């Protein structure tokens, strides 16, 4: 079975955990969380704030900071956007080849932001670093 023919049957559980009323999330809230995650670095590239591990970006903001792009499995992207089109957006056409999706900052609360950013970070770090961060063992990650 080729990877291209596999289709998801349901969104990951953490995507649907938070459906409360939005309290406006600011870039400072994301920054505080992202910089607390092992190996994360903040960069300002072409007028945009980005958080990455090594050379892999896992969160980036639009220039006006109204939307946040984040690492997300391509296979689940369409289902996520269809589940809440007022909240989630497909990435720009040039970014469709990446594991990436966007969210409107005004549509999420801090709890959902925490889940989205943390899961995006998990996609780009070694499993041992994520496990050590969660307290499940593994080697401690570099900061």
Q: Which domain does 57 fall in, by range?
A: 19-127
Give 11-55 pLDDT, tens digit per residue.
Answer: 555 555 444 444 689 999 999 999 999 999 999 999 999 999 999
Question: Is residue 92, in this structure, part of any structural domain at all?
Answer: yes
Give 63-107 pLDDT, tens digit per residue.
Answer: 999 999 999 999 999 999 999 999 999 999 999 999 999 999 999
Question: Is residue 123, in this structure, part of any structural domain at all?
Answer: yes
Interatomic CA distance for residues 71 and 81, integer angstroms: 14
Query: What pLDDT was estimated at residue 26?
Result: 95
Interatomic CA distance for residues 104 and 37, integer angstroms: 22
21, 17, 48, 129 alpha-carbon torsion, rounded to 10°: 150
Phi, psi of 23 (to 5 degrees): -110, 130
Question: Is residue 140, in this structure, part of any structural domain at all?
Answer: no
Find the CATH number of the domain harbouring 62: 3.90.1150.30
What's the DSSP call for residue 122? Answer: H
Question: Is residue 52, in this structure, part of any structural domain at all?
Answer: yes
Question: Is residue 62, in this structure, part of any structural domain at all?
Answer: yes
Number of domains in the chain: 1
């Amino acid at each position: 079975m080729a990877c291209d023919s596999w289709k998801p049957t349901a969104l990951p559980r953490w995507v649907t955990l938070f459906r409360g009323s939005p309290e406006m999330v600011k870039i400072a809230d994301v920054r505080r969380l992202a910089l607390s995650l092992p190996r994360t670095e903040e960069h300002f590239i072409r007028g945009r704030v980005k958080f990455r591990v090594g050379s892999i970006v896992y969160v980036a903001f639009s220039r006006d900071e109204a939307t946040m792009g984040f690492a997300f499995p391509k296979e689940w992207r369409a289902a996520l956007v269809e589940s809440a089109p007022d909240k989630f957006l497909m990435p720009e056409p040039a970014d469709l080849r990446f594991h990436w999706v966007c969210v409107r900052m005004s549509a999420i609360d801090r709890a959902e932001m925490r889940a989205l950013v943390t899961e995006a970070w998990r996609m780009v770090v070694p499993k041992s670093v994520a496990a050590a961060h969660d307290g499940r063992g593994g080697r401690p990650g570099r900061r």
